[in-house]
A = this chain, B = another copy of it.
Amino acid sequence: MYYFDSDYMVGAHPEVMEKLIETNLLHTVGYQRDQFCDEARKIILEACGLNDGKVLFFVGGTQTNATVIDGLLHRHEGVLAADSAHINVHEAGAIEASGHKVLTLPAVNGKIDAKQIEDYVETFYRDDSYSHMVAPGMVYISFPTELGTLYSRDELTAIADACHQHNIPLYVDGARLAYGLQAPGNDISLKDLAAIADYFYIGGTKCGALMGEALVSRHADAVPYLYTLIKQHGSMLAKGRLLGVQFIALFSNDLYNRIGRHAIEMAMRLKEGMKAKNVELMIDLPTNQQFFVLPNETIARLRKIASFEYWGAPGPDKSAVRFVTDFSTTPEAIDAVVDAV
């Protein structure tokens, strides 16, 4: 059986696992104060082209989003996001549970743009009753988006400019960052992202780690109590070293890029194979999620050799399905699926 359900279906990349094994019985202090977290911080900042800045570790994406948003917003503020955003749909109300409203903008293919942000903020403050409404206090986007699309550097810069013009920070959710960075046509590097976004996180869980995300900000002194909020939100691992150790592995020997590159190669091999068989793409995507529209009988045949997610029914006899690749996807698996269509 071949598995394409998502990118969190196996454990860690072997090189990450190796580093965990190697350091397993060393003694360190807890709560991200250890030498591994320190080293990880150093090499992450370096990879981001930042001399100075803040790196904090979280166990998972929802925690990271909820904690950072809670830390950046005042009580009367909400977070602007695409209506399709993960924080608006698939985080069980974690943002609202800490008291904040998600202010939604209609997304096109998972993306919002600078003009929507400008319009929202300007319309808001032109409204005489704005002090009775939730103020836009920050912008949340993800890279890649929920649908696997990407922002170009120009688009991202325009969004950041719109934010800064109105004095609100831009936060980028990078749960699948490795795949975005290595996608064909992508023109944003990790250093670009670190220079443009006020806060962003480098996804570990979906990009080869057992679990863990690394929040990065070029503002070294921003929100000094964010560390305490991590504890308050229940995300401060006693054995915080586990996060440091894994990020050292991910950022050594070009591993994070290799993981991204491999998954993208597999995704493109799948897309090209499907296109060669005249399979309809639900949307043409450059990242590690690929959506196809297939006759239901073809799908039934595929399910005998592969596991993947159902993504709605565009017609009576056909369905959309999602295939996701990761570091563990093999060319054989791809070819077997394509052959079976």
Contacts and interface: CB of A to CB of B under 8 A. Distances in A.
B8 A17 contact: no
A131 interface: yes
A24 B229 CA distance: 32
B206 A238 contact: yes
Interface string A1-40: 1010110111110100100110111111111000000000
A102 to B, nearest CB: 8
A70 B91 CA distance: 17
A303 interface: no
A237 interface: yes
A222 interface: no
A232 B100 CA distance: 11
Contacts of A206: 238
Contacts of A1: 27
Contact of A60 (B62, B75, B238): B238
A75 B97 contact: yes
Contact of A96 (B11, B14, B74, B99): B99
B24 A232 contact: no
Interface residues of A, number: 75
A135 interface: yes
Given A63-B234, A92-B231, A228-B135, A9 B28 contact: yes
A307 B34 CA distance: 14
Contact of A10 (B24, B75, B210): B24
A24 B9 contact: no
A232 B97 contact: yes
Contacts of A9: 27-30
B237 A132 contact: no
A-B pairs, 6 with minimum CB distance? A63-B234, A11-B24, A8-B238, A3-B27, A92-B231, A92-B232
7 contacts: A59-B211, A62-B234, A63-B235, A70-B75, A92-B229, A96-B101, A135-B228
